[in-house]
Amino acid sequence: MRLLTGATTWTLHALGEIGLRSITMSDGPIGVRGVDEDATPSAQLPAPSATAATWDRDLLGRLGTVMAGEARRKGVDVILAPVVNLQRSPVGGRHFECLSEDPLLTAGLAVPFIAAMQREGIGACVKHFVGNETETDRTEYHSVIDERTLREVYLAPFESVIRETGAWSIMAAYNEIEVLGEDSPATAHRTLLTDLLKREWDYDGVVVSDWLATKSAVEPALAGLDLVMPGPGGPWDDDLLAAVERGDVPESVIDEKVERILLLAERVGALGTPFEVREGDGARVRERDAGIPEPDSAAVRDLLREAAARSTVVLRNEGLLPLDPSTVGSIALIGANAVKPFVQGGGSAHVDAPLLSDPLEALAAAFPRAVVTRHRGGSTSSGAPEVEDAALIAPDSGCGILAEVLDARGAVLETRVLASAQGSVWLTGLPATAASVRLTTAIALTAQGEHLVEIAPVGAHDIMVDGERVSHSDHVVGAEVVLDSSYANPEAVTLRVQGGEDAAARLRIELQVVDARAFGRFARAHLRHLAPEAGADAEIAEAVAAAAAADVAVVIVGTNPETESEGWDRPTLDLPGRQNELVRRVAEANPHTVVVVNAGAPVLLPWLDEVASVLWWWLPGQEAGTSLADVLTGTTEPSGRLPWTLPAHTADVPVPDGIPVDGRIVYAEGVDVGHRGWDRLGRTPAREFGFGLGYASWAYEAVSAASAADGSLEVDVTVTNTSERQGREVVQLYLEPVEADAARPLRWLAGFATLDVAPGAQGTARITVPLRSFQTWDTEAHAWATPHGTYLVHAGRSSRDLRVSATVTAPQVGDGPTP
């Protein structure tokens, strides 16, 4: 029984007498953070929505290998990644963490990523099973999905990765699911976990709960959940043994769960190797492997640089790009995201990178003859930035924050001096008798004018500023805040104070100690400070003047940490701040303007067809600057294609939000998810699914198709590179029934491949269209069926740029699952 609940937040129990060491898990998929105590940097990949834009299976496999190396380097056995939920709505908070709005593209890229990790002995934990596409009320809502939509759309990526990689673990989601005649939490949904996953798909891996998602003992145990995380504690630690002893849960059910965990241990090398029993629980921390490339090594940096550059999508290019470094004498680099690029979204995917390649430095290196200047052009944040370390003044100890840990009577148990408030003031490892933490510091306000100070406490608190109480709350919070946006983005107390040469805001903040159960005990607050600024009007005017004087203006616009994060959904698709005004004014001042969009999820670009060049740069990870320089110079072709649809207007979006109504989210659009919905409704996006210009130009010459014995279709597409440069094309296949069927999408993605072709040369992509692409789910027979009929196989550059077609008939191999 002990093996079925975590030993800690990230580790499983060891059992020394059988040679079972502890298994360690870690968050992904942007990198491998390691356990909470691990402060070593991690390679920071581009966000998954970026890597998906490459449409490149080989590249995803190489990134999976890097992830496995990072796991071994940090002593991790299982990475909680990838996310194969779909981007159902563009406002979803974890949109950047998902791969695509399309089930086939999602599966096609997740499979090589997982396979590469597991070849290296590192387990994948595929998440979040299933119908978990919204952050609002994510631990409470019911996903209501009809059987056919569930099978053809939302289960499809999970089925592919299970059947093709045998993913070693899978994560049951927070939400409840009303499907297949059962309305249960994802951690206790017997129809999904046992009947479908374990029996129909013959899955032999471990089903683990999302952290704190399991609420009871008996129902999840009988439904097919295998492992409750985190630990210690929780419903199985407390009640499962008693349930077995009462006869509510058969002992054979426990045996089967243990077998799965031991199989996982065997797969990751945690079972059967003799080791010395450590004093205490007999666990052994996995040894860090020597010889693994560091996250700032040339090999890792080169791959991440390539991935970020390849993922970049050319949305518009009126002959400006690529730039010739020998002819550019000056560049005005403009935008808040040029000053501080947004390289990763918020939440559990966060990793601390070993470096951040700065765009200014990278452009200066790539354009050695150019003078490169940088201008913010106004803030995009609604709140203040984090307090700079140098502005913090601790009493009697110079810079920093004095932290006193107090018991329930107010006696000081221990003191610490914190050097920084970056990220947040976060105290962990507190004594069991700790009841509160008192923070004492001052924020230097040396600049003349009005300063903005924000103090955002988590839970019950008492805040004094300059001896005056400005906020008090007796509302004690617990583990629920870890799952809520208030944990990472708590409500702030806002103060406006006058500054001067010797001015300072003296703070005394008393915070409750949050008992977050298996997440530990901690106290947390955010401190932010904004010194007087010139103001947006002045900053925009300065940026416009700089653009007018430069040979080229590069404007980086985008989202920020207030916008894209786990824990909340976005309220709008608009760019924050006055970025649209900035773009238009800069482009008017300099026709040689490149706009770079730094965002993981769709935003509205009302000026898209008014400027010379527009690049979608995503959340690029640690190699932000180097990748952008490679794209601007053409050193690496930006061969990205949109893995989702870019709207022109909010009103056109088929699923504008995922907000629960009366606690339910009804997937009313059925199988018409993403680009299929745009086609069904006849709406025109700003740029369609699969769009991307690249720098080469292409002619599609021919397409031919032949049936294979297993019911699949082998399609050859011949293209010619009509440009004078080496190019990479992403060839896309779409199926369309000749006789329209209202119950099916108008057309759907059926296959894809990347193809590198020399200037003026031809290349042929061979793409396999699986039998499943022709099939539908028969809700009466509860089985896959192959509707007979004639189809057009379209080959093209996007879902709406279809260049050549062939006519085929449906495979005649009988109904049933794909062989």
Cα separations (Å) of 603 from 574, 594, 644, 685?
Answer: 6, 17, 12, 12
Whether residue 264 is predicted with pLDDT greater than 70 in this model: the reply is: yes
Number of neighbouring beta carbons within 10 Å of residue 681: 12
Please state the domain count of the chain: 4
- What is the tens place of the pLDDT at every residue in 384-408? 999 999 999 999 868 899 999 999 9
Residue that has been written with the tokens 């630690």 in this structure: 237
Domain residues for the domain of 753 are 698-809
In a domain, 497, yes or no: yes
Whether residue 379 is predicted with pLDDT greater than 90 in this model: the reply is: yes
- What is the tens place of the pLDDT at every residue in 10-32? 999 999 889 999 999 999 999 99
- What is the tens place of the pLDDT at every residue in 530-574? 999 999 999 999 999 999 999 999 999 999 999 999 989 999 999
Distance CA 334, CA 317 (A): 19
Same domain, 81 and 224: yes
Angle, vertex CA 204, rays to CA 200 and CA 205, nearest 5: 120
Say what the pLDDT of residue 729 is. 98
Same domain, 526 and 539: no
Q: Record the tokens describing residue 750, joined without a space.
A: 């059926």
Distance CA 494, CA 383 (A): 9
Same domain, 453 and 546: no
Say what the pLDDT of residue 383 is. 87
In a domain, 122, yes or no: yes
Q: Are 119 and 169 in contact (CB under 8 A)?
A: no
Distance CA 350, CA 44 (A): 9
Same domain, 89 and 132: yes
Whether residue 207 is predicted with pLDDT greater than 80 in this model: the reply is: yes
Same domain, 315 and 180: no
- What is the tens place of the pLDDT at every residue in 770-787? 999 999 999 999 999 999
Whether residue 289 is predicted with pLDDT greater than 70 in this model: the reply is: no
650, 681, 712 — which closes off a domain?
Answer: 681
Classify burial at 467, counting beta carbons within 10 Å of its beta carbon; exposed 0-12, middle 13-18, buried 19 or more. exposed
Same domain, 123 and 167: yes
Answer whether the bond into residue 230 is a cis peptide, omega within 30°.
yes
Same domain, 521 and 587: no
**pLDDT (average), residues 114-121:** 97
Angle, vertex CA 16, rays to CA 14 and CA 19, nearest 5: 95
628: phi then psi, degrees, rounded to nearest 5? -65, -40
Name the helix (H) or strand (E) containing 506: strand 504-512
Distance CA 209, CA 222 (A): 14
Give me the residues paired with residue 172 across strands.
129, 209
Q: Are 410 and 480 in contact (CB under 8 A)?
A: no
- What is the tens place of the pLDDT at every residue in 671-697? 999 999 999 999 999 999 999 999 999
- What is the tens place of the pLDDT at every residue in 50-81? 999 999 999 999 999 999 999 999 999 999 99
pLDDT band at 287 (very low <50, low <70, confident <90, very high): low
In a domain, 87, yes or no: yes
The mean pLDDT of the chain is: 94
Number of neighbouring beta carbons within 10 Å of residue 32: 29
| pTM, entire model | 0.95
3-state secondary structure 423-484: CCEEECCCCCCCCEEEEEEEEECCCCEEEEEEEEECCCEEEEECCEEEEEECCCCEHHHHHC
Residues with active-site annotation? 210
Say what the pLDDT of residue 273 is. 61
CA neighbor of 703 nearest in space, from 764, 760, 648, 759: 764
Distance CA 325, CA 196 (A): 57
Give me the residues paired with residue 715 across strands.
705, 767
182, 205, 228 — which closes off a domain?
Answer: 228
pLDDT band at 486 (very low <50, low <70, confident <90, very high): low
Same domain, 34 and 167: yes
In a domain, 260, yes or no: no
pLDDT band at 37 (very low <50, low <70, confident <90, very high): confident
Q: Are 589 and 548 in contact (CB under 8 A)?
A: yes
CA neighbor of 769 nearest in space, from 753, 745, 756, 784: 753
Residue that has been written with the tokens 């045996």 in this structure: 255
Same domain, 126 and 70: yes
Provide the CATH number for the domain around residue 603: 3.40.50.1700
CA neighbor of 517 nearest in space, from 483, 567, 473, 565: 483
3-state secondary structure 301-366: HHHHHHHHHHHCEEEEECCCCCCCCCCCCEEEEECHHHHCCCCCCECCCCCCCCCCCCHHHHHHHH
In a domain, 571, yes or no: yes
Q: How many CA atoms lie within 13 A of 762 on its CB side?
A: 8
Cα separations (Å) of 237 from 3, 7, 226, 467, 558?
Answer: 10, 10, 13, 46, 45
In a domain, 5, yes or no: no
Say what the pLDDT of residue 292 is. 87
105: phi then psi, degrees, rounded to nearest 5? -65, -40
Say what the pLDDT of residue 813 is. 63
Q: Are 232 and 176 in contact (CB under 8 A)?
A: no
Q: Are 551 and 328 in contact (CB under 8 A)?
A: yes
pLDDT band at 283 (very low <50, low <70, confident <90, very high): very low
189, 213, 228 — which closes off a domain?
Answer: 228
Same domain, 157 and 59: yes
Long-range contacts, 356-360 (Cβ 8 Å, 24+)? 356/622, 356/624, 356/625, 357/305, 357/622, 357/623, 357/624, 357/625, 357/626, 357/627, 358/624, 358/625, 359/333, 359/556, 359/624, 359/625, 359/628, 359/629, 360/333, 360/625
Number of neighbouring beta carbons within 10 Å of residue 313: 25
CA neighbor of 385 nearest in space, from 460, 456, 467, 463: 456
Whether residue 290 is predicted with pLDDT greater than 70 in this model: the reply is: no
Angle, vertex CA 486, rays to CA 482 and CA 487, nearest 5: 40
DSSP single-letter state for residue 195 = I
DSSP single-letter state for residue 29 = S
| CA–centroid distance for 561 within its chain | 13
Say what the pLDDT of residue 275 is. 45
Name the helix (H) or strand (E) containing 679: helix 675-681
Q: Record the tokens describing residue 205, joined without a space.
A: 């891996």
Whether residue 143 is predicted with pLDDT greater than 60 in this model: the reply is: yes
Same domain, 414 and 303: no
Provide the CATH number for the domain around residue 107: 3.20.20.300
Provide the CATH number for the domain around residue 405: 2.60.120.260
Q: Are 378 and 582 in contact (CB under 8 A)?
A: yes
Number of H helices, E strands in the chain: 17, 37
In a domain, 58, yes or no: yes
Distance CA 384, CA 402 (A): 22
Same domain, 712 and 657: no
Say what the pLDDT of residue 284 is. 42
- What is the tens place of the pLDDT at every residue in 162-175? 999 999 999 999 99
| CA–centroid distance for 184 within its chain | 26
Say what the pLDDT of residue 140 is. 92
Whether residue 285 is predicted with pLDDT greater than 80 in this model: the reply is: no
- What is the tens place of the pLDDT at every residue in 440-484? 999 999 999 999 999 999 999 999 999 999 999 999 999 888 877
Strands 169-172 and 123-129 come out as parallel
In a domain, 688, yes or no: no
Whether residue 120 is predicted with pLDDT greater than 90 in this model: the reply is: yes
Distance CA 283, CA 287 (A): 12
